[in-house]
Amino acid sequence: MIEKSLKSLFGIVADEAARNRAFARKLEDEILKQAKDVTKARELEEQVTGFNPNVVFKEAGAEGLKFALKNRSIAALKKIVERHNIDPSNQLGSRPTRGKIVEIILIAADKRAKRDAKLFEY
């Protein structure tokens, strides 16, 4: 049922694009824009996949984590914060600086390391 409806809808859009050149250009521009956004999101996801600031902090300390974060883009740093739920109260705000993001990540990793040390203290 949904397949039939979608096929019909795309048929109508394709017919309109064939008849109306301006519509076809707008449609093409929008599809290209969406494709770029998806590509950018995938590239960003690949940059942060497998990176865990808590593990890096535990293995290399604060300086090692700073070094690991040094060459990452602000978008990648934001993705790390989002992925590891480092800023649940949104202290960073809407336009954080690179330094502020790195500081929040370091503080969170330090807290996590101290909490883990207490938790596994026998």
pLDDT in tens, 1-44: 889 998 998 999 999 999 999 999 999 999 999 988 888 888 88
Asked if pLDDT for residue 118 goes beyond 90, the answer is no
User: pTM of the prediction?
Assistant: 0.67
Query: How far apart are alpha carbons 53 and 59 in whole angstroms?
Result: 10
What are the distances in angstroms from CA 75 to CA 44, 65, 121? Answer: 7, 17, 37
3-state secondary structure of 94: coil
